[in-house]
A and B are shown apart, each in its own frame.
Chain A
Amino acid sequence: MSSAGRTASQTIAAFRTGETNARDLAEQTLAAITARDGAIGAFLHVDREDASQQAERLDERRRSGQSLGLLAGLPVAIKDVLCTRGQPTTCGSRMLKDFKPPYDAHVIERLRAADALLIGRTNLDEFAMGSSSENSAFQQTKNPWDATRTPGGSSSGSAACVAARMTPVSLGSDTGGSIRQPAGLCGIMGLKPTYGRVSRYGLVAYASSLDQIGPFATDVAGAALLLEAISGHDPRDSTSVNRPVPAYSQSVDQPLAGLKIGVPREHFAEGLEPEVASVVRGALDVYKSLGAELRDVDLPHSKYSIAAYYLIAPSEASSNLSRYDGIHYGHRTEAFKSMAELYAGSRGEGFGPEVKRRIMLGTYALSAGYYDQYYVKALKVRRLIRQDFDNAFADVDIIAGPVTPTPAFKLGELVDDPLAMYLSDIYTISANLAGIPGASIPCGFSKTGLPIGLQLQAPPFEEERLLRAARMFERATDWHLQTPPLS
């Protein structure tokens, strides 16, 4: 079996048992990328030589009898927003076209320590801002189920490369839904952990208080493995939480007895396509048939989540992106006469329109005279949204609903309508505002054959519960076994 068809657990097992070696795993992965990525456009950068060297070192380690890490032999693709020493880290932006960080992100260190094979850098919406891959400065990634459609965003490449079975797993980042939305649109598993569960050190910041790194996988076990490898305290990120990491990969197969699932009324209201609603309802029925109890829950402030998000995230982004000024590194304009022209020219040329739009939104929201009216108010709403979840979780173990209001839309369809684009994150954003974990699992298809995702959300640090609930569903269905035509 080629590595391209294996799940993460199967790949690791094949390597551990000696059925295959890391060099073959790397080569099969590189071959799959060569064969398929022309049609998908998931990868921005693949350093074949580096991948081969990693594989050789790993084979050597196995030969010499050294102990092997949790992910030994597993090819992982990385969203191009995570710093990797000596590899381009472009964030999908002209601004960082030639930037190679001198250091590894915490999660990259963890992957290396777990003996994973870092296989390449995947496309994204510029600085993780967007929902369709159309904001990437370099290329558009296509949905493996239908190349005329978006794979979602901003972790577009990471979702598409797993959906197209080029790698069994990948890493993305999720600020308002950037893992769950593309996972839903591409028909794979995607998980955004609790804020603080995974260190953000080395993740190029979009909105620091919302960003969280998480896994994509073809199955729940793969996500559990990757999450287990990257979680845990990092003293270099003061928002990283010092709590023990459960062995997610060990517990994932244990079904949850007496599971109470909350169904938020607000997630089945106006704006949800009937087709998506009925597929998601069908998924909830599957849970019912497995013995879970469904209860209606209320998230009364969820209607403000988009508004709060588009004040908080751009405010933080306007600040986080100030460092790209043409002075120290990154793009610098050629023509300038003064310092102000150097800044304006470099930023004007380096950033794309969506990034500029959000910087301007944030600059406005933080400016004197508007701060209380916008930013402070948004923080208050954020607290209320968190309270809604706390109240709901007093009654239920898991909250379930749609990931997106529609299946994958056509590339180009919403480019000129940013507000409509923003609505594709309407069900995912509140988890980031509340800091809770959320996952998307494949739960069916539209009539036109596009995947539809089911979102599961859990209380803070209950990723174990989330994964076990996801696996219960996966075991009872075969949606995750469907592979797209471009695979």
Chain B
Amino acid sequence: MSYDVIIGLEVHVQLQTQTKIFCGCSTAFNPDQPNVQTCPVCLGLPGALPVLNGKAFWLAVKTALALNCEIAPFTKWDRKQYFYPDLPKGYQISQYDLPFSHDGHVDVVTESGGERHVRILRAHLEEDAGKNLHDESGRGRDSQVDLNRAGTPLVEIVTEPDMRTAEEARRFLEELRLLLTYLEVSDCNMQEGSLRCDANVNLHVHQPDGGKVATPIVEVKNLNSFRFTEQAILHEVERQWEEFQRTGKTIKDAPKSTRGFDPGRGVTYPMREKEEAADYRYFPDPDLVPVTVTPADVARVRAEMCETPISRRQRFQTDYQLSAYDAAVLVDQGREVAEYFETVARAAGDGKQAANWITQDVLRELNDRQLTIATFPIPAPVLADLLGRVHRKELTLKSAREVFAALLESGEPANIEQIGQVIAEKGLAIVQDAGAIDAAIAQVIAANPKPVADFKSGKAQAAGALIGQVMKLVKGADPQGVRERLLEQLKSLP
């Protein structure tokens, strides 16, 4: 027997607004001072009323457009009701039957180069809850509630169960993060909970008669890293397969259950479940008026959108003749690296060269020195100037690397004048003086009768040693030019 893995994700993304979704409180991440970013509205005090933050709404529309979703012309707010200490009103303001967007998709390229089309069922807006802080010393029994986060705007993105491997799920999340950070709708900081994921997993087991049987769906809650998501799914697949073989239980026996993930042990574990299915008693929030969105509104948001990573990857291939791989490496580093590349490529007049340098030299240095592109000491115009010199054959590639290293060593932000200074100090300028090169060639030929004779007898590689000697004599000579002249002169020897 074999099986297919069926994975759907529910992703919560915190929108990058200054203020909360229904009040004016700050959304800054503040783990140290509880309950300082609160007001009567987000505390749910008697008499307080929510008012929609327009910025949050349009940021959410932008998010949905990036996910290729349809935007609903009419959307309303519903209350999702349950009791929990971090939920100050006893209900969460969310969207139930009329979400502001639906039916989108994201295309994900896997590491093997395959592509997966993941459909988005809906994206809706809701407010975040607060946070319960439990005394973990084991002594006290006090639990405390921090409502700084309560009312932070979240977009919940629900996919169709279109992913088939844990890697595809991870790649979907990576693509999503890249997309949303490009658009600056979210910082997607997983440590601070700006991007959280629940994974729905089950197996479709192939039967000898050609049919399929589904195992019960498991929702793994609150996955807060890409790696954990992948690990949790891998474990869940193994566990479900083992359980199915042992018990034969299918989705008809138990439609759905909820599990947590223990990253320390790499396993999922059952979460306490209510006896009865939750009844959230959704109904339209009478405190909030519905929102209508016109085609002109959608056009306005669309006009404000920057290029998405997907179209940028394609454009880099056509505009700069990059390979799909190089284009992806540059774009996947985030918007700032991609923009750094584009500045360098344009100014140096050589996209391929710029891509090589950035994907290799620059990324290596960023990694070694624990820098971001914003703190990298060689700004794009400086690297562009350096590569321009190579492109115009004023500098050898090797010399350019020496200049690059020297600029980095100073530790200070480099400027264009420094390139000239380093070239002058180290004597790296390509010697254009044909006379000096010819004289050196003559000198080397005279001093090396054995390699010269070897060359004349057909051993082409003997020229290499001679070129090296000429280069030593004429610092800054262009090796290609030296090679050409040397071969010419060797051939003209009797």
Contacts and interface: CB of A to CB of B under 8 A. Distances in A.
B287 A105 contact: no
B90 interface: yes
Looking at chain A's contact residues, the main secondary structure is loop
Contact of A101 (B44, B47, B81): B47
A102 B48 CA distance: 11
A393 interface: no
Contacts of B46: 83, 89, 91, 96, 99, 101, 204-205, 323
Contacts of A207: 286
Contacts of A204: 46-47
Contacts of A239: 286-287, 289
Contacts of A329: 45
B133 interface: no
Contact of B283 (A103, A235, A236, A371): A371
B286 A237 contact: no
Interface of A: 82-83, 89, 91, 96, 99, 101-103, 105, 200-205, 207-209, 235-239, 315-316, 318-319, 321-323, 325, 327-329, 339, 343, 363, 366-368, 371, 375
B81 A319 contact: yes
Contacts of A339: 83, 85
B434 interface: no
A262 B432 CA distance: 105
29 contacts: A83-B45, A91-B46, A101-B45, A101-B46, A102-B40, A103-B45, A103-B48, A201-B48, A204-B46, A205-B46, A205-B47, A208-B287, A235-B51, A236-B49, A237-B287, A238-B51, A238-B52, A319-B90, A319-B283, A322-B81, A322-B89, A323-B44, A323-B89, A325-B83, A325-B90, A339-B83, A339-B85, A343-B83, A368-B279
Contacts of B45: 83, 101-103, 329
Interface string B365-398: 0000000000000000000000000000000000
Interface string B38-72: 00100111111111100000000000000000000
Given A83-B46, A202-B47, A238-B50, A315 B145 contact: no
Given A83-B47, A237-B51, A323-B88, 11 more contacts: A83-B45, A205-B46, A205-B47, A208-B287, A236-B51, A238-B289, A239-B287, A316-B286, A325-B90, A327-B145, A367-B281
| Interface size grouping (class) on chain B | 20 to 34
A322 B90 contact: yes
Those 9 A-B pairs whose CB atoms lie nearest each other, nearest first:
A322-B90, A209-B286, A208-B286, A366-B281, A204-B46, A202-B47, A83-B47, A204-B47, A323-B44
Contacts of B43: 328
B486 to A, nearest CB: 82
B335 interface: no
B-side binding surface: helix, strand, loop or mixed?
loop
* Most B CB within 10 A of own CB, among A99, A209, A238, A239: A238
A200 B288 CA distance: 12
A103 B279 contact: no
B89 to A, nearest CB: 5
Interface centre among B44, B45, B49, B89 (most CB of A within 10 A): B49
Given A238-B52, A363-B281, A367-B281, A201 B47 contact: yes
Contact of B49 (A102, A238, A327): A238
A207 B48 CA distance: 14
Interface in B271-286: 279, 281-283, 286
Contacts of A96: 46
A323 B79 CA distance: 13
B320 interface: no
Contacts of A203: 47
- Name the residue in B83, B88, B145, B289 with the highest tally of chain A Cβ atoms < 10 Å from its Cβ: B83
Nearest to A91: B46
A286 B279 CA distance: 55
A315 B283 contact: yes
Contacts of A105: 47
Given A102-B40, A208-B286, A368-B279, A322 B49 contact: no
A315 B283 CA distance: 9
Contacts of B85: 327, 339
A363 B90 CA distance: 13
Contacts of A235: 51
Interface string B75-117: 0000101010100111100000000000000000000000000
Contacts of A205: 46-47, 287
